[in-house]
Amino acid sequence: MNNKTTYISSIILVIVLLILPFVLPEYPLHLFALCGIWIILVLSLCLLQGYIGELSMGHAAFFGIGAYSSVFMTMFGGFSFWAALPLSGIVAMIFGYLIGLVALRLRGPYFAIVTLGFAEIIRMVLVNWKDVSGGPDGIIGIPPPDSIWLPLIGQISFAGKIASYFLIYIFVAVTVYVVYRIVKSLMGYAVVSVREDLDYAECVGINTTRWKRFIFSISAFFAGLAGSLFAHYVHFISPYSFGVSESFDLVIMIIVGGTGTIIGPIIGAVLLTLLPELLHAIKDFRMLIYGAILVVIIMYAPGGIAGLLKSFSNRYFPNLTTKKGI
Amino acid sequence: MILQQLVNTVILGSNYALMAIGLTIVFGILGIVNLAHGEMFMVGAFVAFFIVAILKGNFFLALLGAMVAIAVLGVILERATFRKLRGGAEVNYFILSMGLLIVIQNAALLLFGTDPHSMSLPAAAQVIDLGVVMLTTQRLIIVATAVIIIFALHFFIKYTRMGMSMRGVEQDFEGAQTVGISINKVASFTFALSGALAGAAGALMGSLYIVQSTMGFSPLIKAFTVVVLGGLGSIMGAIVGGLILAAAEIFGGVYISSGYQEAFSFIILIIALSIKPSGLFGKK
């Protein structure tokens, strides 16, 4: 897509997102807010998968760390939500850095099992450390974000859905922007260095470990933010919201949506959050259908939905695409 | 007490090894990490359960039935799905098998529900008292069967023509093709062997504990841990890794904390990989 169509479609998307909360009933709006949290999560994993090239099977752990640390800080530490939100991202980031020290030395299946291992250990600590985490029952009655006063708008309370929706989508926008900037700059970096001089690229390669740790920490940071937003939005957390199946859901979202793009995983996240709600009749078959979709996508359309859309637009609207593609 | 735990370690460890070898040969020879291996284990346990409970067969018939059925399932999965992705990135196999895991597990949930079943074998009730150690006949059968199967596999891979072809493909994929080894045959056979091992492990573990549609995931993670701990593709690594993992869980569970039993295996794994990133018996 050329710049003009990208701008026009982004503007349309933003307008739609701004109008949605005023036209949708409460429950669909709630689903869209949840979609936003999944978009932040899936983009943070997408950053990891796209730059490091490894699939994490334990990404939901950082989501959980963010959620629990935010709840500790606000409910037991007396922090305001607005301080706890960035701090819980930083706590997740510290965990990400430490886990990265071990995991980033490994590749492929080794990386996958070690990330899953760390996630399971963290989940088991949450289940067993009853005094602090509430154990398997979780923590109930988490307060909504503290109300704030903004010029022009006035006092905003986050007890309702509309304000929470906007809060979540502001962070979606921040995540999209940061991920986009990192992908752009790092890709430019790598491409230029390889093109200019291979030896130079290898020299740059020495720093790849540091870059990888940086990316892994940033990825954990955004997952932590998503956790904090989630906890104060649904008002209840338990270790079962941050398990292996959530980590797997994230991987499915990326693959079904399409790897190597930013729009792909977003499509995947929205689709997988809304699909079971739209098709109530098939609720029991939800996971069976997800699995089957995953098998079909990987066998016949490894580019995911974004890849399908791209080849579709290349074929039928060739004048929309430049030589570089989307 | 320690001796009793050691016996339990050997029983559990031999089963982990059985699962892990099935996973490791598919990786070593074909470069496929098969996450659906645990679901093959689960289906194997159900086949054994049906033979014992409904057809009133004895345990050895059930074991054989499970091995044959899952070998066939393995060949079907290889031909219908994995073969189509050959030559692509290894991560695609990984995602494919994740899809198969979800499909098989949820199909089993819909078909069999979540109720636990028990084979209630007579041998599980006979207690052998050796003074310091007590165990049931069924546990003895389990260890013996696992050891026999592992040895049989070792001799198969070492001395038969197909075994040599498999090793040839493992060492050099293209070289093996050049000398006329059929990759398709080797791939199907490897999946059949891997399936037979998963089926056997399912029947053995199913006879000891319960048979349930959700029983496959935990052994998959255990086997995966064992395989990575021992070094991907190494059979010896799978055996040693299986015993280490079983020891960590049993001794850690008894002497440290039972709530964290599952965590000990991951802690051992993380420590081992921090020291030797390719696993204990891994190449490179």
Mean pLDDT lowest among A1-10, A93-102, B153-162: A1-10
pLDDT at B20 over 60: yes
Q: What value does the mean pLDDT of chain B take? A: 86
Contact A304, A49 (CB under 8 A): no
Best mean pLDDT range from A273-287, B58-72, B148-162, B231-245: B58-72
Residues of chain A above pLDDT 90, percent: 26
In chain B, helix, strand, coil percent, each to 5? 75, 5, 20
Nearest to A87 by CA among A68, A101, A100: A68
Residue to test with chain A: of B78, B93, B228, B257, most A Cβ within 10 A: B228
For residues B134 and B1, is the Cβ–Cβ distance under 8 A?
A: no
The length of chain A is 326
Task: Note the pLDDT of residue A171.
Answer: 93
Structure tokens, A309: 């859309």
The count of residues in chain B is 284
**Is the Cβ–Cβ distance between A104 and A52 less than 8 Å?**
yes
Query: Of A11-25, A201-215, B176-190, B241-255, where does mean pLDDT reach its minimum?
Result: A201-215
Domain boundaries of chain A, sorted by first residue: 44-242, 243-320
Taking residues A190-213, what's their average pLDDT? 59
CA gap A274, A251 in Å, rounded: 17
Alpha-carbon separation of residue B278 from A84, A111, A290, B259, B275 (angstroms): 40, 11, 33, 30, 9
Among the ranges A49-58, B33-42, B137-146, which has the highest mean pLDDT value?
B33-42
Question: Cα angle vertex B52, ends B48, B57, to 5°?
Answer: 110
Q: Averaged over B159-180, what is the pLDDT?
A: 84
Percent of chain A with pLDDT over 70: 89
Categorize the per-residue pLDDT at B193 as very low, low, confident or very high, splitting at 50, 70 and 90. Answer: very high
pLDDT tens profile A289-321: 888 988 998 888 888 888 888 888 777 776 655
Q: Which helix H or strand E contains B5, and what residues bound it?
A: helix B2-30
Rounded to two decimals, the ipTM of the complex is: 0.83
Provide the token pair at A142: 């988490």
Give per-residue burial for A187-210: e unless 16+ CB within 10 Å, then b. Answer: eeebeebeeeeeeebeebeeeeee
Sign of the torsion formed by the C-alpha atoms of A2, A272, B102 and B248: positive
When computed from its CA atoms, the radius of gyration of chain A, rounded to whole angstroms, is: 20
What confidence category does residue A192 fall into, taking pLDDT thresholds of 50, 70 and 90?
low
* Alpha-carbon gap: B68 to the closest alpha carbon of chain A (Å): 25
Contact residues, A window 268-307, toward B, CB-based 8 Å cutoff: 284-285, 287-288, 290-295, 298-299, 302
Please report the pLDDT score of residue B29 as a whole number. 86
Question: Is the minimum CB–CB distance between A131 and chain B shorter than 8 Å?
Answer: no
- Compute φ and ψ for B127, nearest 5 degrees: -100, 130
Q: What's the pTM value of the predicted model, to 2 decimals?
A: 0.85
Count CB atoms within 10 A of the CB of residue A126. Answer: 25
Nearest residue, CB atoms, A108 vs list B90, B106, B270? B90
Beta bridge partners, A156, equal A148
